[in-house]
Structure formats: structure tokens, C-alpha cells
Amino acid sequence: MFSMKQNQTLPVELSCDNLSLLRDLTLCSDNILFTWSSWLDHGDRNGGLVNLGSLLHPELSPSDMCIESAIVQLAGRTLSPPAQRLVDLILAQA
């Protein structure tokens, strides 16, 4: 796909937790944003972003459309009560 060899790493990577910045960067450049589909469902706050998944031919398999994620914390550290509650909520949905 995109004239790349299978399992070839994309040439550019950006990691950021500021969703507003990611949205602006995507809209003002030729970058492609890989994000959660639920984030795209909020059209009022993400106006202009389009889910390209349905436009790809051949279509990507459901496993190709998944984003792996992880919960991490520093070894030997205790989470704050709000952080622990969030982890508990996430794990309850897993």
C-alpha cells in the first residue's frame, strides 16, 4: 500500500496528546492522522477531518484498523486516585 513494502516503517512519526494540535496539524498539512474512530465521530469539534478507511481499495481488514495501546506507569510508583479510577474503568471495558 502507498508504494511501501510490507511492514516498512512510515518515514515520519509524531506523538502528541494535544488533540487540538493534532487536528490543526492534519488540516494544515499533507499528514495522515491515525486515530480512534470515536474521535472522528465528534464532527462538531473535528470539522474537516475525514475518515479515509472507507475510501481505501482494497479495504483494510478490521485488524488493520485497530490501534494498539497500553497503560503504563513508573515502576514502584502508586497511581493517584483519579488515575487508578481511570485504569479501573478502562480495564472494565477490555
Give per-residue pLDDT as tens, 13-61: 777 888 888 888 888 888 788 777 777 776 556 677 877 877 888 887 8
How far is CA 88 from its chain centroid? 21
Q: Residue 65 pLDDT more than 80?
A: no
> Considering the domain boundaries, does residue 53 fall inside one?
yes
Percent of the chain whose pLDDT exceeds 90? 7
Residue 6 lies in a domain: no
- Looking at the 3D structure of the chain, how many domains does it have? 1
Within a domain: 50 = yes
Residue 45 has φ and ψ, to the nearest 5°, of -100, -10
- Mean pLDDT in residue range 72-90: 89
Q: Which residues fall within 8 angstroms of residue 37, CB to CB, at 6 or more apart?
A: 51, 53, 65
Boundaries of domain holding 26: 19-67
Q: Going along 1-94, which residue ranges are E strands?
A: none
Residue 37 lies in a domain: yes
Q: Does 5 fall in a domain?
A: no
Residue 31 lies in a domain: yes
Please report whether residue 38 resides in a domain.
Answer: yes
Q: Output the pTM of the full model.
A: 0.46
